[in-house]
Amino acid sequence: MVCQGKMKKLSWKIWLLLIILVLSLLSIFGMPPTFLKKGVVITSIDANSTAFEQGLRQGQIINFIDGNKISTIEDFSNALKDKFKLNESVKTIIQTNKVEVILFSKQAPEITVSGIQKTNIKTGLDLAGGSRALIQAQGEKLSAAQINDLVDVISNRLNVYGIADMNIRPVSDMTGNHFILIEIAGATPKDIEELISKQGKFEAKIGNETVFIGGEEDISSVCRNDATCAGIEGCYDSENGAFCNFRFVIYLSEDAAKKHAEITDKLEVNTTAQGKYLSEKLDLYLDDNLVDSLLIGEGLKGRVTTQIQISGSGTGSDRETAYDDAEKSMHQLQTVLITGSLPYKLEIVKLDTISPVLGKDFINSIFLAGITALLAVAIIIFIRYRKIKSSLALLFTSISEIIIILGIASFIEWNLDLPSIAGILATIGTGIDQQIIIMDEANQSKFLSIKQRLKRAFTIILGAYFTAVVALLPLLWAGAGLLKGFAITTIIGITAGVLITRPAFMDMVKRIED
Amino acid sequence: MQEETKNKFADWHDKNYKLLFLIPLTLLLFSLVYLGIFYYKNNDFIYKDISLTGGTSATISGEIDINNLEQFLSGKLEDVNTRKIYDLLTREQKAVIIETKSSAEETKQILEDYLGYELNSENSSFEFTGSALSESFYKQLLIAILFAFIFMAIVVFIIFRTFIPSLAVIMSVVADIIMTLALVNLLGIKMSSAGIIAFLMLIGYSVDTDILLTTRILKRQEGSLNERIFKAFQTGMTMTLTSLLAIVFAFIVVKSFSVVLSQIFLILSIGLCFDIINTWVTNVSILKWYVKEK
């Protein structure tokens, strides 16, 4: 044949496939490959903690603690296990790939870690664990602008509360409903529901008059994480268990302080057994529920005071749970005092909290499923064609396709969730189908040149491609985007198929046939 | 020898293909009647699981006796369903899944009462969907399927530009969907949102073989009509069988751990089986008829 010399060389289509394959592998494993890195990676860190202030961040890799090498999660927990038993302040030196920090604390640093990901592939919440909430304004249809404001307020609130690793964004669905989607990676904060759905309308009233409300307009700062002006005062047993009181100081703005002076000026002084107090109390309301009533000392009458002490309590079946409850309530109250209330009443329409533990087994099983399925395909293909070269080429192409999809997914940082994985499996299925069409067309109508035969195969494949793409499009908008992953991975996969792998496979078949 | 049987079969097929068409037609009619009765009884096309009705799905790690649990929960929670998750190789139980229409808080409380320990994000997962949201999900998914179908039909018409053959392709896809839906309901499967996606995938898989068949028959000249059909059948069957086998194997593996994926695979395997009938009997019969009439 004339073109024999040419055919010895790999065609540009095969080269293109090989180059894309290498790029995909680089995108999946990174350079240098992540599986060569040693240490544990920080998955979450309390944004209010000293460790955070010192420069530890989520995503950093811890290599040493107190000079001991940390390679696994066991190393990490062993390094910290016995240090904090005595409830004394101890020194901890943590060395990460970015910073070295020295902490003095009574408790272990508030960070969670995990082993280093072997790849750059990001898994969705349903596999990696975390929480996801879809919220909607109650009884109101909000405009896109209103939704964006709400997103700002909520993310501010979560930040102030100390949640660092989150993703919050507006989403809408086919029927024009607007939602806010909140995704928090890693462990789920216990009070997530209250944090995101409580309006957090805080009001301090004397009689019927509002003195100040939550938010920066009236409150210039709130004391937290400082035992001198915030903390649990004491715990007491009660009939139904126990309760603990908390208190913390807030600083009012000039205007709010003046208002306080005006209102208290009008009050009378009552003398009681406990001392001299004003005739009305300062009532604290959270979302229209009375949280606490504070007696106002005689000395505050008519005085412009910026410093106010807020108090409240937590209850529980025993002192320990009451303590936790009080701490939680204090933290929540501090958060809404800083961030102010949400402009609308919200409703959680979907809330998923996924344990990170089960997801790990999941991924292994999915791999097993994929390999079994591919083996099954290989067997049929070999039985049908009895051509080892073509069958291997077919398998190679299908595996390349998986690698390319994963490569693109890690490149665009797409989180692979279960629908996405179903999409990958679907793509491989249709991919193999189309390769079978190519193999069969190549073996048919021998009076046509191989090029013409393959061109025919490609028209069938293009037809199948377009029907598949248009069938997937509606899914991008249905269901507030929660099933988008399926459409995205499938469209990536079949497009890569038509543009890259299928033409390359045709050239491979051409080489083998010639 | 092989040629002879092939020819014999071709002769037989030439005589009987119209009669053969009655098989899928009967199946289709039966499915339609069944679905009609089903709709009349249930006021819906499918049995919906909690992802479409709203409710809670809780996954709790550990070896928990599923029978005792179910007994304890029935009556306390609305519409309870429990399932095991196990290791495929060792058969060791890893977790239980509890599905109920009750709220997440209520479910958690009652489960904690039964288990006697606190459920946190280490030992459990909770997924809650409000009923209004799932209802709107369901509607949107149905619309998505409808649009997918219409778009697919338009592309098919554009590819073939002839009315009857295009219609035959679309009809065999419709038949696939309807027969699969009927069998899924007959088996009493509660469908999830993922199950509806499986129908979307089914549209893609089943239209592939139909496009192959129609292209080979209408756009090729070499060989007799029967030869072309037979060649297309060889290719198409290889396609469907590889897909089917891969899906069945994958189904066996994922059945142990993922409700979502196993439902997708189950529906796809049912659909692919019907696709064999609908491509190689329904579509072939109509096409043969069309070509011979012309």
Domains and CATH numbers, chain B: 2-49+132-293 (1.20.1640.10), 55-129 (3.30.70)
Q: Which of B124, B155, B260 to mutate to test the interface with A (most CBs of A within 10 A)?
A: B155
| CA–CA gap between residue A189 and residue A236 (Å, rounded) | 27
- Check: CB of residue A432 under 8 Å from CB of residue A455: no
How many residues are given for chain A? 514
- Check: CB of residue A34 under 8 Å from CB of residue A118: yes
Calculate the alpha carbon distances from A298 to A211, A277, A301 in Å: 17, 5, 6
| CA–CA gap between residue A168 and residue A131 (Å, rounded) | 12
Q: Closest approach of chain A CAs to the CA of B127, in angstroms? A: 4
- Check: CB of residue B182 under 8 Å from CB of residue B35: yes
Q: Would you call B64 exposed, middle or buried from its count of C-beta atoms within 10 A (0-12, 13-18, 19+)?
A: middle
| CA–CA gap between residue A121 and residue A260 (Å, rounded) | 56
Options 3.30.70.60, 3.40.50.970, 3.40.50.12780, 1.20.1640.10; CATH for A4-33+358-513 is: 1.20.1640.10
Q: What is the DSSP letter of B4?
A: H
Question: How many CB atoms are closer than 10 A to CB A20?
Answer: 20
Q: Which residues of A touch B224 (CB under 8 A)?
A: none
Q: Contact B238/A129, CB-based, under 8 Å?
A: no
CA atoms B241, B246, B247, B252: torsion sign: positive
pLDDT, residue A366, reads: 80
Q: Contact B197/A486, CB-based, under 8 Å?
A: yes
CATH tag, A38-115: 2.30.42.10
| CA–CA gap between residue A236 and residue A352 (Å, rounded) | 36
Listed in sequence order, the residues at least 6 apart from B113 whose beta carbon sits closer than 8 Å to its beta carbon are none
- Check: CB of residue A353 under 8 Å from CB of residue A183: no
- pLDDT tens for each residue of chain A, 514 residues long: 344 444 457 788 889 999 999 999 998 888 777 777 778 888 777 767 778 888 888 778 888 888 888 887 788 878 877 777 777 778 888 888 888 888 887 777 777 777 777 778 888 777 778 888 888 887 777 777 788 888 888 887 787 777 767 788 888 777 777 888 888 876 666 667 777 777 778 888 888 888 888 877 888 888 877 778 888 888 888 888 888 888 888 888 888 888 888 888 888 888 777 677 888 888 888 888 887 888 787 777 888 888 888 888 888 888 888 888 888 888 888 888 887 777 777 888 888 888 877 777 777 778 888 888 888 888 888 888 888 888 888 889 989 999 999 999 888 888 888 888 888 887 888 888 888 888 888 877 667 787 888 888 888 888 888 888 888 888 887 766 677 888 888 888 999 999 999 999 988 888 887 7
Listed in sequence order, the residues at least 6 apart from A483 whose beta carbon sits closer than 8 Å to its beta carbon are A419, A475, B141, B193, B194, B197
Domain extents for chain A?
Answer: 4-33+358-513, 38-115, 130-197, 202-326
| CA–CA gap between residue A46 and residue B177 (Å, rounded) | 51
Question: Full-prediction pTM beyond 0.90?
Answer: no
Q: Does domain A130-197 have CATH number 3.30.70.3400?
A: yes
Q: Closest approach of chain B CAs to the CA of A337, in angstroms? A: 27
Query: What confidence tens digit (pLDDT) does each residue in B200-256 have?
Result: 888 888 888 999 999 889 887 778 888 889 889 988 998 888 888 888 888 888 888
Calculate the alpha carbon distances from A365 to A372, A378, A468, B84, B89 in Å: 10, 20, 28, 15, 10
Residue where the block lists tokens 């290889």: B238
The answer to whether the complex's ipTM is over 0.95 is no
Cis peptide before A32 (omega within 30 of 0): yes
Q: Which residues of B touch A474 (CB under 8 A)?
A: 143-145, 147-148, 151
